[in-house]
Copies of this chain bind each other. A is one copy, B any other.
Amino acid sequence: MTDKHKNKMQKLKEKVDAGIAAADQERGVMIVLTGDGKGKSSSAFGMVIRALGYHYKVGVVQFIKGEQLSGEELYLRDQCPEVDFYQMGTGFTWNTQDREGDIEAAQATWAVAKKMLTDDRYHLVVLDELTYMLSFNYLDESEVLTTLKNRPANQSVVVTGRGGGSALQEIADTVSEIREVKHAYRAGIQARRGVDF
Contact = CB atoms under 8 A, between A and B. Distances in A.
Interface of A: 2, 5-6, 9-10, 12-13, 16, 19, 22-29, 31, 33-35, 37-54, 56, 70-76, 78-79, 92-97, 99-100, 123-124, 156, 158, 169, 172-185, 187-197
Nearest to A36: B176
A156 B31 contact: no
Contacts of A94: 9-10, 12-13, 16
Name which of A27, A97, A195 has the most chain B CB atoms within 10 A of its CB: A195
A107 to B, nearest CB: 17
Name which of A13, A47, A175 has the most chain B CB atoms within 10 A of its CB: A47
A47 B42 contact: yes
Given A50-B45, A52-B79, A70-B53, A177 B188 contact: no
A52 B138 CA distance: 33
Nearest to A183: B174
Contacts of A194: 47, 50-51, 53-54, 56, 123-124, 156
A113 B39 CA distance: 22
A185 to B, nearest CB: 6
A45 B2 CA distance: 35
Contacts of A188: 22-25
Contacts of A74: 53-54
A192 B49 contact: no
A111 to B, nearest CB: 23
A75 B53 contact: yes
A27 B26 CA distance: 44
Given A39-B43, A94-B13, A189-B173, A50 B71 contact: yes
Given A50-B194, A53-B72, A176-B39, A6 B97 contact: yes
